[in-house]
Amino acid sequence: MLNILGIGAGYVGGPTMAVIADKCPEHKVTVVDINAEKIAAWNSDHLPIFEPGLDALIERVRGRNLFFSTEIDEEIRKADLIFVSVNTPTKTYGQGAGLAADLMYWEKTARQIRANATGPKIVIEKSTVPVRTAVAMERILNEKDSPIHFDVLSCPEFLAEGTAIRDLEVPDRVLIGGRHDTDSGREAMKKLSDIFRHWVPEERIIHSNIWSAELSKLASNAFLAQRVSSINAISAICEKTEADINEVSRAIGLDQRIGPHFLKSSVGFGGSCFKKDLLNLVYLCQFYGLEEAAEYWMWVVKFNDHQMNRFVDRILKKMFNTINGKRIVLFGFAFKANTGDTRESPAIYVTKRLLEERAEVVVTDPRALDNARRDLEGMPVTFAEDPYEAVRGAHAIAVMTEWDLYRDLDYQRIYDVMEKPAFVFDGRNILDHKGLYEMGYHVFPIGKKALSHFDR
Please give the annotated binding residues for substrate, written as ranges: 157-161, 217-221, 257, 264-270, 335-336, 428
Question: Per rule CB under 6 A, is residue 238 in the interface with ligand UDX?
Answer: no
d(CA 370, CA 368): 6
> Least distance in Å: CB of 161 to ligand NAD?
5
Q: Does residue 440 come out as left (phi exceeding 0), alpha (psi in the -120 to 50 range) or beta?
A: left
Q: Given the complex with ligand UDX, which of 216 and 364 has the nearer CB atom? A: 216
d(CA 339, CA 159): 13
Q: List binders of ligand NAD among 325-354 (CB under 6 A).
A: none
d(CA 268, CA 270): 7
Residue nearest to ligand NAD (CB): 10
Contact residue for ligand NAD among 4, 12, 58, 390 (CB under 6 A): 12
**Residue 285 known to be catalytic:** no
Contact residue for ligand UDX among 67, 297, 335, 349 (CB under 6 A): 335
- The listed partner (ligand NAD, ligand UDX, none) that binds 35, CB under 5 to 8 Å by sort, is ligand NAD
Q: Would strands 423-426 and 396-399 be described as parallel, antiparallel, or unpaired?
A: parallel
Question: Per rule CB under 6 A, is residue 5 in the interface with ligand NAD?
Answer: no
Type of residue found at 44: S
Q: List binders of ligand NAD among 240-259 (CB under 6 A).
A: none
* Site map (CB under 6 A) of ligand UDX, residues 251-270, x = contact: -----------xxx-x--xx
Q: List binders of ligand UDX among 140-159 (CB under 6 A).
A: 157-159
Q: Given the complex with ligand NAD, which of 340 and 387 has the nearer CB atom? A: 340
Of 24, 155, 238, 273, the catalytic one is 273
Give, in order, the Cα–Cα distances in Å from 274 to each of 35, 158, 297: 25, 12, 11
Residue 91 DSSP code: P
> Least distance in Å: CB of 144 to ligand NAD?
24
Q: Provide, for the chain, the percentages of residues in helix, strand and coil under a 3-state DSSP scheme, each rounded to the nearest 5.
A: 45, 15, 40
Output Rg (C-alpha) for the chain, integer angstroms: 24
d(CA 156, CA 84): 10
- The candidate with the shortest Cα–Cα distance to 394, out of 362, 441, 349, 369, is 362
- The candidate with the shortest Cα–Cα distance to 174, out of 130, 129, 126, is 126
Q: Given the complex with ligand NAD, which of 108 and 413 has the nearer CB atom? A: 108
* Site map (CB under 6 A) of ligand NAD, residues 16-45, x = contact: ----------------xxxx--x-------
Contact 122, 155 (CB under 8 A): no
Residues noted as catalytic: 273
Binding residues (CB under 6 A) for ligand UDX: these are 157-161, 221, 224, 228, 262-264, 266, 269-271, 273-274, 335-336
